[in-house]
């Protein structure tokens, strides 16, 4: 009898402890996580009584703002608006009653609500003076003219454009197509929001995907600048004569590598490293990759940020290259194929690092938070990764990339009066589909510098390596020209 009583007592005790543990977990241990979960509708409703701070560009140009609701009987005091429609949606994200927050609206939520620790002093003062506390203003790094040029130049072609300031890592432009209008998800009409959401998530073109930071592609021949950097760091010079056969007999496989469209590089003899990059010779760079080996090739890529989480402030995909590959895979990776995968943001960082003399700066898009009284609450800047490649190597790469634009595959990126450096790419990705068209490049004058990456999905020609220059280079040219003041 006593044994049965003890068993019942143990069961009751365990049940009692479970009852105590549940509220302890949800109300104490998980409280912060739940409060910051963008799906927590109850928290969102409470937030709608606060005048959320705007998101702006230079000169206080608003790209997101909160206004008082004019809807009759609306229990929510403020509604979020995006005055520029879809233009900045891949940075601002959306602020939705039904689906929560994304991108900058999520990452900087506490500042926009005025609840960040840095805003504590202001909140105490406002409490003592019975003043209503609005949220902070988030100032972005995006340049208005450059963003408009990127959107206009990309047009209705599926792909992405990213532009960076090489010296700081500041994002000057970021656009993708197709895209969405965050206003469609930010109203106070839940039924309408859900209809718009269903339409967006069921769209096979993926308008909610930020292709600039979150999509991964084979980089094609734009990756040859990384292979060239590895070669330069391992004893090859710009003027060294390298084999350039019409067909490279790849060891350990019968799958040989040819130049795009079966073309010949310099008559099948030899080329300097400079010339091989200028005309984008596959066979030369495949052989270089094999000579370097997969470990050195991957190590060079990692200096530019491959195989590491992106330091970008908002969600971004990790660009990658396998560290250990067999010889055939290494040959293909050296020309940006096989298992190499990159985001346009990553390739813009590659271009920016070369433009910055080999010093790599992490990309960032939010530069500061300002109070409603005009004081700076918080400053942000890109992470400085230091001198990742020697300055001499970066200088050699700049010189070679200038020749690509001056007389090679990237002539369509030329801008009168400016020195433009770049590299084209045509990346195969699926049997029977047109390749992706790529261009990365940079230019500068005085205190203005810009590095750009462009990808146009399936924008290349199956039979021609120069289609990266034909399709993507003019987009990059227009973006660079807009930032440099050429309209």
The average confidence (pLDDT) of the chain is 88
Taking alpha carbons only, the member of 88, 89, 78 closest to residue 185 is 89
Kindly state whether residue 212 falls inside one of the protein's structural domains. no
Looking up tokens 């080999």 gives: 358
Q: Which residue has the higher pLDDT, 28 or 73?
A: 73
pLDDT confidence of residue 346: 98
Which class for 318: exposed (0-12), middle (13-18), buried (19 or more C-beta within 10 A)?
A: middle
Domain range for 421 is: 220-365+384-483
What digits encode the pLDDT tens for the residues 422-447?
Answer: 999 998 866 778 889 999 999 999 99
Question: Is residue 24 pLDDT above 60, yes or no?
Answer: no
Tell me if the bond preceding 178 is cis, omega within 30° of 0. Answer: yes
pLDDT confidence of residue 475: 97
Question: Is residue 396 pLDDT above 60, yes or no?
Answer: yes
Kindly state whether residue 90 falls inside one of the protein's structural domains. no
> How far apart are alpha carbons 324 and 114 in whole angstroms?
48
Q: Which residue has the higher pLDDT, 446 or 82?
A: 82
pLDDT confidence of residue 128: 42
Kindly state whether residue 266 falls inside one of the protein's structural domains. yes
Kindly state whether residue 95 falls inside one of the protein's structural domains. no
pLDDT band at residue 154 under the 50/70/90 scheme:
very high
Query: Which of 9-23, 213-227, 442-456 is the least confident region?
Result: 9-23
What digits encode the pLDDT tens for the residues 258-267?
Answer: 776 666 786 6
pLDDT confidence of residue 464: 53
Question: Is residue 41 pLDDT above 90, yes or no?
Answer: no
Q: Which residue has the higher pLDDT, 140 or 37?
A: 140
pLDDT confidence of residue 118: 80
pLDDT confidence of residue 90: 96
Question: Is residue 187 pLDDT above 80, yes or no?
Answer: yes
Q: Report how many domains make up the chain.
A: 1
Question: Residue 476 is encoded by which pair of tokens?
Answer: 């990059």
Range 207-232 average pLDDT: 96
Question: Is residue 463 pLDDT above 60, yes or no?
Answer: no
What digits encode the pLDDT tens for the residues 337-376?
Answer: 999 999 999 999 999 999 999 999 999 999 999 998 888 9
pLDDT confidence of residue 73: 73
> How far apart are alpha carbons 186 and 183 in whole angstroms?
5
Question: Is residue 379 pLDDT above 90, yes or no?
Answer: yes
pLDDT confidence of residue 39: 54
CATH number at 330 reads: 3.40.710.10
pLDDT band at residue 449 under the 50/70/90 scheme:
very high
> How far apart are alpha carbons 183 and 232 in whole angstroms?
50
Handedness of CA 282, 286, 292, 298 (dihedral sign): positive
Kindly state whether residue 394 falls inside one of the protein's structural domains. yes
First to last CA, the chain: 93
Range 377-393 average pLDDT: 96
Active site residues: 221
pLDDT band at residue 74 under the 50/70/90 scheme:
confident
Q: Which residue has the higher pLDDT, 359 or 460?
A: 359
pLDDT band at residue 166 under the 50/70/90 scheme:
very high
Give the 3-state secondary structure of the chain.
CHHHHHHHHHHHHHHHHHHHHHHHHHHHHCHHHHHHCCCCHHHHHHHCCCCCCCEECHHHCEEEEEEECCCCCCCCCEEEECCCHHHHHHHHCCEECCCEECHHHHHCHHHHHCCCHHHHHHHHHHHHCCCCCCCCEEEECCCHHHHHHHHHHHCCCCEEEEEECCCCCEEEEEEEECCCCHHHHCCCCHHHHHHHHHHHHCCCCCCCCCHHHHCCECCHHHHHHHHHHHHHHCCCCCCCEEECCCEECCCCCCCCEECHHHCCCHHHCEEEHHHHHHHCCHHHHHHHHHHHCHHHHHHHHHHCCCCCCCCCCCCCCCCECCCCCCHHHHHHHCCCCCCCEECHHHHHHHHHHHHCCCEEECCECEEEEECCCCCEEEECCCCEEEECCCHHHHHHHHHHHHHHHHHCCCHHHCCCCCCCEEEEEEECCCCCCCCEEEEEEEEEECCEEEEEEEEECCCCECCECCHHHHHHHHHHHHHHHHHCCCC
Range 26-34 average pLDDT: 51
Question: Is residue 130 pLDDT above 50, yes or no?
Answer: no
Kindly state whether residue 452 falls inside one of the protein's structural domains. yes
pLDDT confidence of residue 108: 96
Judge if pTM exceeds 0.85.
yes
Question: Is residue 123 pLDDT above 60, yes or no?
Answer: no
Range 320-331 average pLDDT: 94
Kindly state whether residue 436 falls inside one of the protein's structural domains. yes
Range 51-61 average pLDDT: 95
């Amino acid at each position: 009898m006593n044994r049965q009583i003890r068993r019942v007592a143990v069961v009751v005790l365990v049940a009692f402890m479970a009852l105590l543990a549940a509220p302890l977990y949800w109300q104490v241990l998980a409280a912060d996580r739940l409060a910051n979960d963008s799906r927590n509708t109850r928290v969102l409703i409470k937030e709608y009584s606060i005048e959320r701070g705007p998101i702006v560009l230079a000169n206080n140009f608003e790209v997101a703002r909160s206004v008082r609701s004019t809807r009759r009987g609306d229990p929510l005091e403020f509604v979020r608006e995006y005055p520029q429609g879809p233009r900045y949606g891949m940075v601002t994200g959306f602020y939705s009653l039904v689906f929560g927050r994304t991108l900058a609206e999520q990452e900087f939520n506490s500042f926009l609500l005025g609840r960040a620790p840095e805003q504590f002093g202001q909140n105490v003062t406002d409490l003592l003076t019975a003043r209503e506390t609005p949220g902070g203003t988030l100032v972005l790094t995006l340049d208005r003219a450059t963003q408009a040029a990127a959107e206009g130049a990309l047009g209705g072609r599926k792909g992405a454009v990213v532009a960076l300031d090489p010296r700081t890592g500041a994002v000057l432009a970021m656009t993708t197509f197709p895209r969405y209008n965050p206003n469609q998800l930010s109203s106070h009409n839940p039924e309408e929001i859900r209809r718009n959401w269903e339409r967006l998530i069921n769209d096979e073109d993926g308008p909610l995907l930020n292709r600039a930071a979150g999509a991964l592609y084979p980089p094609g021949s734009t990756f040859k600048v990384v292979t060239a950097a590895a070669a330069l760091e391992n004893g090859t010079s710009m003027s060294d004569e390298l084999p350039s056969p019409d067909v490279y007999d790849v060891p350990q496989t019968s799958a040989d590598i040819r130049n795009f469209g079966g073309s010949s590089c310099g008559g099948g003899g030899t080329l300097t490293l400079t010339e091989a990059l200028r005309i984008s010779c596959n066979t030369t760079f495949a052989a270089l990759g094999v000579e370097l080996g997969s470990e050195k090739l991957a190590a060079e890529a990692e200096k530019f940020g491959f195989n590491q989480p992106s330091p970008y402030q908002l969600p971004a995909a990790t660009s990658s290259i396998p560290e250990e590959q067999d010889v055939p895979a290494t040959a293909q990776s050296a020309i940006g194929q096989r298992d190499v995968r990159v985001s346009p943001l990553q390739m813009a960082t590659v271009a920016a690092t070369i433009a910055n003399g080999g010093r790599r700066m992490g990309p960032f898009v939010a530069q500061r938070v300002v109070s409603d009284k005009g004081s700076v609450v918080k400053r942000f800047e890109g992470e400085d990764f230091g001198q990742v490649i020697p300055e001499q190597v970066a200088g050699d790469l700049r010189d070679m990339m200038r020749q690509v634009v001056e007389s090679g595959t990237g002539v369509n990126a030329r801008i009168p009066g400016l020195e433009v450096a770049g590299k084209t790419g045509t990346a195969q990705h699926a049997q029977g589909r047109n390749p992706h068209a790529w261009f990365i490049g940079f230019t500068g004058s005085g205190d203005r510098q810009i590095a750009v990456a462009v990808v146009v999905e399936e924008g290349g020609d199956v039979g021609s390596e120069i289609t990266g220059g034909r399709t993507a280079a003019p987009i990059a040219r227009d973006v660079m020209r807009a930032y440099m003041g050429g309209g």
